[in-house]
DNA sequence: AATCTAATCAACCGCACGACT
DNA sequence: AAGTCGTGCGGTTGATTAGAT
C-alpha cells in the first residue's frame, strides 16, 4: 500500500476512523503540527503527512463550522467567485469556518447547477445565449432538484469595486454624446441609474402554489439627478428584472471604478429578503468589498485589468445588453428595457 | 423490497511555489 | 543555478446517501 508522496512507507488511505481522528487531534492540540511530514510518525498514524494536513484542515479544526451553507454564505460565494473565479481558498477566506474544499464542493454540486438552470454561465456569470443553454441543458434528474432551483431570479447589477481610485469616467454613445457621466466614487452625487425601485422577489413557502411577487426595495429613494439613466422593468411578469444598478452598499448608485463595475446577475435567494438577513448580507458585502479593494491593490496576481483600468469598463454591461438585444446605440430604449426571459 | 441514478462530500492526485541547501 | 523538501491549491475521484422507479 505505497504512496507516491511518502515513498516506500506503508500508509493507510481512504476514510479516517474515529481512532485516527482522535490521535491526530490529540497530537496537534498538544504539540502543534510543526512539519506535517513528521506528524504521522509522532502521532502514531499510518498516514502520509499530506493526508493528515488535509484531514485537520478540512475536518478536525475546532473553528470549523459544520452544516449547510446559509443563503448569505451562498451569496458571498457567488459574489466573490465572480471576482476571483475558482480560487476556492481565497473565497473560503471570506467565509469563516468554511474550507476551500467545502466551498468548492458546494459550488460544484449546487451553485453551479443553480446558475446554469437560471441561464447563467457559472464561469463568467454572464447570461448564456439560448442555444448555448440548450446544449448545456441539465438533464432531468430522478433525484429531486432542490426546489429553489426552479425559482426565478432577479438580475441585480451591483457594482463590485476592486478599487476606488480613478473613479471618474464617462460613458459615451457611439455618436459621442454623453449618456451618463460618472463621478468619483467618494464624491457625491453618484449617478442615479434607476427610475424604478429595485425589487425583491418573495415566495410564500407555506404555499408552494403561490406566485412569485416582486416587492419594492424599501431603502429605495427616487433618483433626482439630471443624468439619470432610466432602466425600468416594464414587464412585471418577467421572471428576470433589470432591477438594480448600484453599489452594494447603496443599491441605487453606479460607481465608476474598477474593472467590472457591473456585477453579473445575481440570484435572489430564499430567505434573503427578510429584513434581518438582508442587513447581515449587506454588512457582509460591505466587508467583502473592503477586503477585495485592499486585496486588489496588494495582490500582484490580480487581473491586470483591475489594476490598470483608469476608465470605466463597460464590457460586461455591453455584453449583457447585447445578449438581450439592446445595443449601445439604443440606450434610449432602455427606458423600456426588460429582460425577455 | 430491490435496483437505479444522481447528489454529496471526504479524500486523493498532481502541480506550483517558496524556502532552503 | 539546480535540486530537494514542505506546503498549499485546484481538479478529480470514488464511496456513501437518498430519492425515484
DSSP characters over A193-211: --SS--EEEE--TT-TTPP
- Whether A134 has a pLDDT exceeding 70, the answer reads no
Q: Is residue A283 part of a domain?
A: yes
A111: containing domain: 71-336
pLDDT score of A77 more than 80:
yes
Q: Is A66 within the bounds of a domain?
A: no
Q: Which residue is nearest to nucleotide B11 (CA to C1')?
A: A14
A9 and A147 housed in the same domain = no
The mean pLDDT of A32-59, rounded to a whole number, is 89
Tell me which of A21, A40, A60 is where a domain ends.
A60
Give A27's contacts (C-beta < 8 A, 6+ positions apart). Answer: A33, A39, A42, A43, A44
Whole-number pLDDT of residue A56? 92
* Residue A88, in any domain of the structure: yes
Q: Which residue ranges have CB below 7 A from strand C? A: A 5, 14-15, 33-37, 49-50, 53, 86-90, 100-101, 104-105, 108, 142-144
Same domain, A150 and A41: no
Q: What does the pLDDT read at residue A52?
A: 92
Output the pLDDT for position A160. 35
Indicate the length of chain A as a whole number: 341
* Residue A23: CATH number of its domain: 1.10.10.60
| Residue A63 pLDDT grade (very low, low, confident, very high; cuts 50, 70, 90) | confident
Say if CB A203 and CB A212 are below 8 A apart. Answer: yes
What is residue A243's DSSP assignment? Answer: E
The distance of Cα A102 from the centroid of its chain, to the nearest Å, equals 16
Query: How large is the average pLDDT for residues A119-140?
Result: 65
Cα–Cα distance for residue pair A327/A236, rounded to 1 Å = 22
Same domain, A34 and A80: no
- Quickly count: other Cβ atoms within 10 Å of residue A151's Cβ: 19
Which residue is closest, via its CA, to the C1' of B4? Answer: A142
Distance A290 CA to C3 C1' (A): 42
A22 with A130, same domain: the answer is no
Residues A17 and A88 in one domain: no
What's the pLDDT score for residue A321? 34
- Both A277 and A329 in a single domain? yes
| CA dist., res. A117 & res. A67, Å (int) | 24
Which of A16, A32, A60 is a domain's end point? A60
Are residues A137 and A230 both part of a single domain?
Answer: yes
Total of domains in chain A:
2
Residue A183 lies in a domain: yes
Query: A115 and A37: one domain?
Result: no
DSSP lists the bridge partners of residue A215 as: A200
Q: Residue A105 CA to C11 C1' — how many Å?
A: 11
Give the residue from A33, A60, A87 where a domain finishes.
Answer: A60
pLDDT tops 70 at residue A101: yes
Q: Are residues A54 and A83 in the same domain?
A: no
Average pLDDT over residues A308-333: 34
Distance A148 CA to C13 C1' (A): 28
CB half-sphere exposure, A330, CA atoms < 13 A: 11
- Note if the bond before A189 is cis, omega within 30 degrees: yes
Rounded to an integer, what distance in angstroms lies between the CA atom of residue A17 and that of residue A1?
Answer: 17
Mean pLDDT (chain A) is 54
Q: Please indicate, yes or no, if residue A146 is contained in any of the structural domains.
A: yes
Residue A209 lies in a domain: yes
Residue A11 is assigned to a structural domain of this protein:
yes
Rg of chain A over Cα atoms, rounded to whole angstroms, equals 23
Q: Which nucleotide is nearest to A66 (CA to C1')?
A: B9
pLDDT at A55: 92
pLDDT tens for each residue of A264-306 = 344 344 333 333 444 444 455 555 555 554 444 444 333 333 3
DSSP annotation of A332 reads G
The rounded distance, in Å, linking the Cα atoms of A335 and A234 is 8
A46-70: average pLDDT: 89
User: How far is the C-alpha of A270 from the C-alpha of A64, rounded, in Å?
Assistant: 25
Provide the pLDDT for residue A124.
85
The model's pLDDT over A200-257, given as tens digits with 9 standing for 90+, comes to: 333 333 333 333 333 333 333 333 333 322 323 333 333 332 222 322 333 222 222 2
Q: Which helix (H) or strand (E) holds A79?
A: helix A71-84
Task: Answer yes or no: is A341 within a domain.
Answer: no
- Residue A143: nearest nucleotide (C-alpha to C1'): C19
The segment with the largest mean pLDDT, out of A178-187, A188-197, A215-224, A284-293, is A284-293
Q: Are residues A187 and A304 in the same domain?
A: yes
Let me know whether A129 and A234 are in one domain. Answer: yes
Residues A91 and A56 in one domain: no
Amino acid at each position: 500500500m505505497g504512496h507516491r508522496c511518502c515513498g516506500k512507507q506503508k500508509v493507510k488511505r481512504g476514510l479516517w476512523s474515529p481512532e485516527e481522528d482522535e490521535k491526530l487531534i490529540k497530537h496537534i492540540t498538544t504539540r502543534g503540527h510543526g512539519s506535517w511530514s513528521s506528524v504521522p510518525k509522532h502521532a502514531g498514524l499510518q498516514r502520509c503527512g499530506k493526508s493528515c494536513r488535509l484531514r485537520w484542515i478540512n475536518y478536525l479544526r475546532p473553528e470549523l463550522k459544520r452544516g449547510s451553507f446559509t443563503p448569505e454564505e451562498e451569496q458571498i460565494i457567488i459574489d466573490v467567485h465572480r471576482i476571483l473565479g475558482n480560487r476556492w481558498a481565497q473565497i473560503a477566506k471570506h467565509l469563516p469556518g468554511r474550507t476551500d474544499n467545502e466551498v468548492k464542493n458546494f459550488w460544484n454540486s449546487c451553485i453551479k447547477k443553480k446558475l446554469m438552470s437560471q441561464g447563467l454561465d457559472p464561469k463568467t456569470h454572464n447570461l448564456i445565449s439560448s442555444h448555448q443553454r440548450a446544449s448545456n441543458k441539465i438533464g432531468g434528474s430522478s433525484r429531486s432538484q432542490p426546489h429553489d432551483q426552479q425559482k426565478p431570479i432577479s438580475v441585480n447589477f451591483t457594482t463590485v469595486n476592486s478599487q476606488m481610485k480613478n473613479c471618474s469616467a464617462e460613458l459615451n454613445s457611439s455618436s459621442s454624446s454623453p449618456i451618463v457621466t460618472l463621478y468619483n466614487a467618494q464624491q457625491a452625487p453618484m449617478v442615479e441609474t434607476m427610475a424604478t425601485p429595485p425589487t425583491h422577489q418573495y415566495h410564500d413557502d407555506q404555499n408552494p402554489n403561490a406566485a412569485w411577487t416582486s416587492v419594492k426595495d424599501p431603502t429605495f429613494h427616487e433618483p433626482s439627478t439630471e443624468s439619470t439613466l432610466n432602466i425600468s422593468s416594464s414587464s412585471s411578469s418577467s421572471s428576470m428584472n433589470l432591477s438594480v444598478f448600484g453599489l452594494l452598499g447603496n443599491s441605487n448608485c453606479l460607481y465608476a471604478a474598477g474593472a467590472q463595475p457591473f456585477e453579473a446577475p445575481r440570484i435572489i435567494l430564499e430567505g434573503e429578503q427578510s429584513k434581518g438577513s438582508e442587513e447581515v448580507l449587506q454588512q457582509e458585502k460591505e466587508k467583502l468589498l473592503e477586503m477585495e479593494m485592499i486585496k486588489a491593490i496588494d495582490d500582484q496576481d490580480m487581473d491586470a485589468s483591475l489594476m490598470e483600468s483608469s476608465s470605466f469598463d463597460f464590457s460586461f454591461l455591453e455584453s449583457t445588453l447585447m445578449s438581450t438585444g439592446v445595443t449601445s446605440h439604443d440606450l434610449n430604449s432602455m427606458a423600456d428595457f426588460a429582460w425577455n426571459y
